[in-house]
Amino acid sequence: MKKTLLATAVAGALGASVGVAQAATIYNQDGTQLDLYGNIQIAYRSIDNEDGDAEDDLFDNGSTVGFSGQHVINPGLTGYFKAEFEHDADEEKTGAGLSSGDQAYLGMKGNFGDARVGSWDPLIDDWIQDPITNNEYFDVTDSTTDLGGLYGGDLSDTVDTDREGDKIQYVSPSLGGLQFAVGSQYKGDNEEEFNSDNANPDVSSNGSNASFFGGVKYTAGAFSIAGVYDDLDNYDLRDETTGDEYSATAYGVNAQYTMDALRISAKVENTDVDYADDSGDIMRYALGARYGYGFGDIYGAYQRVDADEEVANVVDSGGEDSFNEFSLGATYNLSPAMYTFVEYAQYDRTNDAGDGVAVGAVYSF
């Protein structure tokens, strides 16, 4: 689940020597600030396909251009926004240039907490999954990939699965180390995904619907623990073998400890699948670590996936009920604005499907 800017921010919090430049402030006057930031990410990957044959390419790894801003409404209240746009750095710019949007939201923050509306990563991603593998390219599976992917799945030829958009969220201030978050993803019946003429099997289509997600986090010094629940009420999972559709909920717990430049994190996550007599759990137990060695980071993760036989085909597992997943990686800072990375992943699939290596470079500002 690659998110380079967040990964470097996490590494910075660990005291590592982070290769990331500061955003350029375009305007800052009378309590109003506007910043420009972005990155170019180009990488090479070689990944085994379902037949066990390696396939490789040079590709864009998530290059973005973004704007962020804030305005002090009064001494205890600040309004803010963020808008990111993606582009394919490895392709010739013969079209419109920017290809799609990424995170985009506006909100207000202050002594009361933080409230926002728009599109951004799911709470279960930020609090439970990212501390395990906040990598550049490779990731271990999770309840989000069961739905087909965070930024849009390939389970339908009609429309992508949208896990980021149309959300509203409130995050409380930290009181004695305790913090909570609640939110909803609202999908109206005029949305493309829910339109009655749309045959997409990966989203529910019962008219307008508001899902629910929430979480609690407690931090004490270098230790933190978080729990998140997401009812996934706008989406259905699909058995790739039979075509059957399932409803599901997701929840998990993550604990992490930071010591100097070392962070260790553990999670337990469940996708609770419900379909007639084929109900079952997809349990995931994971351990991840990241160490800042002064010129970059070294990181790795292990995850054990145990799926009940009735719902194993929901997971992209090659039909196996239980399997192991590994990822290893390292970054090296060339300058405060530029770094390189190399990563390897192994997924314990039939014919080593999905196993591979990726190397790349990132320039950020």
Residues 146-184: tens digit of each pLDDT: 776 433 333 333 334 678 889 999 999 999 999 999 999
Helix (H, G, I), strand (E, B) or coil at 168: strand
Tell how far CA 199 is from the center of its chain.
26
Instruction: Average the pLDDT over each of 63-72, 182-191, 261-270, 316-325 and give the range with the smallest value.
Output: 316-325
Please state, in angstroms and as integers, the Cα–Cα distance from residue 60 to each residue in 68, 81, 153, 156, following that order. Answer: 23, 26, 18, 23
pLDDT of residue 152: 33
pLDDT of residue 120: 93
- Highest mean pLDDT among 36-50, 92-106, 236-250 belongs to 36-50
Count the helices and strands in the chain (H runs, E runs).
Answer: 3, 20
pLDDT of residue 320: 65
Residues 48-91: tens digit of each pLDDT: 988 889 999 999 998 999 999 999 999 899 999 999 998 887 77
- Highest mean pLDDT among 117-131, 244-258, 270-284 belongs to 117-131
DSSP string, 137-150: S-----HHHHTT-S
Domains of the chain, by residue range, sit at: 24-364
Global confidence as pTM? 0.84
Mean pLDDT of the chain: 83
* 52: number of Cβ within 10 Å: 12
- Contacts of residue 12, defined as CB under 8 A and 6 or more positions apart, other chains included, come to 18, 20
CA–CA separation, 6 vs 130, rounded Å? 9
Question: What is the CATH code of the structural domain delimited by 24-364?
Answer: 2.40.160.10
Tell how far CA 362 is from the center of its chain.
18
Helix (H, G, I), strand (E, B) or coil at 23: coil
CA–CA separation, 200 vs 84, rounded Å? 27
- Highest mean pLDDT among 51-55, 317-321, 347-351, 359-363 belongs to 359-363
The band of 226, judged by pLDDT with boundaries at 50, 70 and 90, is very high
19 burial via Cβ count (<10 Å: 0-12, 13-18, 19+): buried
